[in-house]
Amino acid sequence: MGALIVLILLVLLFLFVVTLLAKTVRIVPQARAGIVERFGKYKQTLPAGLNIVVPFIDKVRYLIDLREQVVSFPPQPVITEDNLVVSIDTVIYFQVTDPIAATYEIANYIQAVEQLTMTTLRNIVGGMDLEQTLTSREEINHGLRGVLDEATGKWGIRVNRVEIKGIDPPPSIKDAMEKQMRADRDKRALILSAEGQRQSSILTAEGNKQSAILNAEGDRESQILRAQADRESAILRAQGEGQAIQMVFQAIHDGQPDQSLLAYQYLQMMPKIAEGDANKVWVIPSEITKALEGLGSSIHEIAGIPQNSGGPRKRVDMGSYEPAKLAGSGALADAEVSKANEAVQAAIAEAAQAANPGVADPSTAIGGTPDPTAAASTATPDQPVDQPVDPSAPPSGPATGSQEPPPPAAPPGPPAS
């Protein structure tokens, strides 16, 4: 019986020692602070680690978390300056810097921070309209942080950051904002489309302008080249015609045609004169009878056509028959054409002077009106120049009627010995 009592006493003593040790030794976690009270009064603050207190006298009342804490508050209705109710969600980042003040200066510092945030937010947003509220979050955050930091300093709390998590306007305002945003985007799309069309029109007009300028320059150069080609072609054609005339003229001089050949050629030209559908009436020239007489008899001659050509047999130097090479200069070709024409005129004048020695002006011997005083000297090409002229003899000019020309005079006899 006595042993059982001793055992019970030992057990009770062990339990008392364990309880005493539990009340004496207190372990505080890292980033925590323990507030010790003795008989209900603040005694000390226990740091992190192993701490010993007086059992049954000292009591650890609060264990304060010294880490930065994040508190998210539910959406709060806030009225803006333009009388629109919006719901704003806030998030606050704070940290306890003084465990004693956080324990004894405020009963519930989290609730105090929440209410202070709500009142400050309503004060700040109440001075803004909806557009400013939606676009001025940084300004709202800065205002909230300043007010909260000033108010919670005496509570042993430091507000590090305040964030606006969301601003929700009413559904009708959301719908209006979406319509406004859609209209604004449509407006910008139309403006961009109009600017694109404007730029496209400008570029198209510039392209058309450049194209018209290039086309005009091409037409100008084409016309210039075409005009130069026409000019050179006309010059070459004129040179060819001049050379053809010179060749015909030389052939006539070389052949010395008589009156019969010329009369035959004259008759061959008569049918060509009558050709054509418009020729209804044809008048036979009076010279055709003379031409017919010239074919039948060689002693008669047509007026204006000598019976025996006494022209010179000197050939006219016509030069090369190759066309002149025009290298962009028409002066050389013009000079050559003028030189050829002068050579032809000189040859014609020489031939006329040789055929009619008594005519002073060569132009009167070729189709011109002869001088009556020199008519007798031009009766025949074989008559000497020093032979006296019979004033009663008819002129050798063109015949106007059917009068026959006088027979050629006999050549003078040999001189007397």
Question: pLDDT tens for residues 140-172?
Answer: 888 888 888 888 888 888 888 888 888 888 888
CA end-to-end distance (rounded Å), the chain = 225
pLDDT at 370: 41
**Partners of residue 68 on adjacent β-strands:** 95
Note the pLDDT of residue 199.
93
- Read off the pLDDT band of 12 (50, 70, 90): confident
Domain with residues 67-169, CATH architecture: 2-Layer Sandwich (3.30)
More confident residue, 51 or 334: 51
**CATH code 3.30.479.30 region(s) in the chain:** 67-169
Q: Of 57, 65, 56, whose CA–CA distance to 34 is shortest?
A: 65
> Would you call 212 helix, strand, or coil by DSSP?
helix
pLDDT recorded at residue 282: 60
Contact 299, 289 (CB under 8 A): no
% of the chain with per-residue pLDDT over 70: 65
Which pair of structure tokens corresponds to residue 80? Answer: 């803006």
Instruction: List pLDDT tens digits, range 292-304.
Output: 565 555 434 444 4
Cβ proximity of 115 and 74 under 8 Å: no
For residues 61 and 41, what is the distance between their CA atoms, to the nearest angstrom?
10
- In this predicted model, what pLDDT tens digit does every residue of 194-246 receive, in sequence order? 999 999 999 999 999 999 999 999 999 999 999 999 999 999 999 999 899 88
For residue 78, the cross-strand partners are: 86
Question: Binning pLDDT at 50, 70 and 90, where does residue 395 land?
Answer: very low
Confidence of residue 62 (pLDDT cuts 50, 70, 90): confident
Query: CB-based contacts of 237: which residues, under 8 Å, 6+ apart?
Result: none
Beta bridge partners of 95: 68, 158
C-alpha of 371 from chain center: 78
> What confidence score (pLDDT) does residue 220 get?
92
Identify the CA nearest to 384 among candidates 405, 408, 360, 361: 408
On whether the CB atoms of residues 311 and 355 are closer than 8 A, the answer is: yes
- For 224, the token pair is 């210039």
Residue (of 268, 266, 270, 271) closest to 301 by Cα position: 266
**Mean pLDDT, range 106-132, rounded to an integer:** 87
- The pTM for the full model equals 0.43
Q: What's the confidence (pLDDT) of residue 331?
A: 52
Backbone φ and ψ of 127, nearest 5°: -95, 10
**pLDDT, tens only, 272-294:** 766 766 666 666 666 666 655 65
Q: Residue 132, Cβ neighbours under 10 Å: how many?
A: 15
- Taking the C-alpha atoms of residue 42 and residue 63, their distance in angstroms, rounded to an integer, is 13
Side chain identity, residue 334: D
Nearest 5°: phi and psi at 33?
Answer: -140, 130
